[in-house]
Structure 1
Amino acid sequence: QYWSNFFKLFFTYISWIAFLHRYTSFLTMLILPHIFEILNRFLERLLLFSVLCTSYLLIVQ
């Protein structure tokens, strides 16, 4: 009796982990491209800002 309950719990646990893993991988596939897009935009802005700052400093000097 004890072992059957233990195995039931164990298999439920494993199936939940598999389900959650599949779900989270699906979510990351959905979310990651957006994160990369935001990061690319941020890096572009940062690059533009640094170029503008260096040109401004060069002009001021």
Structure 2
Amino acid sequence: MSSPTGEIYRIDWLPGTDVLHGTCHCGREHTAKDPVEMWEWMLAHPQGHQLQGNEPQGNSS
């Protein structure tokens, strides 16, 4: 999905699981089972996560 400003948000379903893997336009990644939780995390940028390089990448809330 792209926002009007050209930012790309990507959410993939991990086959064989109930897990979603999201990648924000800034490069941060997050996993969640709840799609609402995933979108809230994505759209909370920059609250909820820091720019890549400031924190370890991976499952963060």
| TM bracket (short chain) | under 0.3
The structure richer in strand per residue is: 2
- How high is the TM-score relative to the length of structure 1? 0.21
Max Rg structure = 1
TM-score norm. by structure 2 comes to: 0.21
Which structure shows the higher helix fraction? 1
- Pick 1 or 2: higher relative contact order, CA cutoff 8 A, min separation 6: 2
